[in-house]
Homo-oligomer: A and B are copies of this chain.
Amino acid sequence: MSPSQARRARQQQRTRQRILEAATAVLLKHGVDGFSMRRLAARIGYTPTAIYCYFADKESLLGEVVERQFMSFRSMFEKVERIHDPLRRLLEMGMAVVEFGLRHPDHYRLMFLTPHPALPKGRLVERGNPGQDCYAYLLSTVREGLEMQRFRTELRDAEQLAQVVFAAVHGLVALHLVKGDDPWVDWRPIKPKARIMIEGLIRGLSRTP
């Protein structure tokens, strides 16, 4: 590869980043629904068509934004890493997810409430690496609990347990984001609910001494 080719490639990569960052900004400002290729293009001073030189379509662009967001999602778990007890860590991980959902509702929506059909992921996040992949980190925590025989004897599948715990927390956040303003239900504050739910669930799945 010639020097000028390398420079071009670098430039191209930088433009990609610029688009991705602008996309994230537009997303934060206008929400998932208010996001459009044309708006994004206007923001970076390009025509809508230009974006298609860097991304196949809207879906895959959003997919990459999501993956970047999963990176920052993982960073929410850093503060719980020091907790030794895996079950207590599981609790605080759940609370961190709720925290993230409340702080970044649009990103949460994009990550977990919007289907992204068959995207080639794994560009940024290394799947299965607990240091980058949130699900892998959750899994490792559950595995730790299993190894310490903290769960009921009939529960042996780490994947199953991880999915159950995450789904419960996710349900709370999802309902809050989608139905939180619905006056049909007299909604109670989410954080106490989260504590009660996760503590209750963990207690119910735990081995009783």
Contact = CB atoms under 8 A, between A and B. Distances in A.
B171 A167 contact: yes
A193 B164 contact: yes
B201 A168 contact: yes
A65 interface: no
A58 to B, nearest CB: 13
Interface string A117-159: 1100100000100000001000000000000000000010101
A102 interface: no
Which applies to chain A's interface (DSSP): helix, strand, loop or mixed? helix
Contact of A159 (B135, B178, B186): B186
A164 B197 contact: yes
A45 interface: no
Contact of A112 (B121, B178, B192): B178
Nearest to A185: B135
A159 B204 CA distance: 20
Given A168-B168, A171-B171, A204-B203, A114 B178 contact: yes
A186 B199 CA distance: 25
* 5 tightest Cβ-Cβ pairs between the two chains A and B: A171-B171, A204-B204, A200-B204, A203-B204, A168-B168
9 contacts: A160-B196, A161-B196, A163-B188, A164-B172, A164-B196, A166-B171, A166-B175, A168-B168, A171-B172
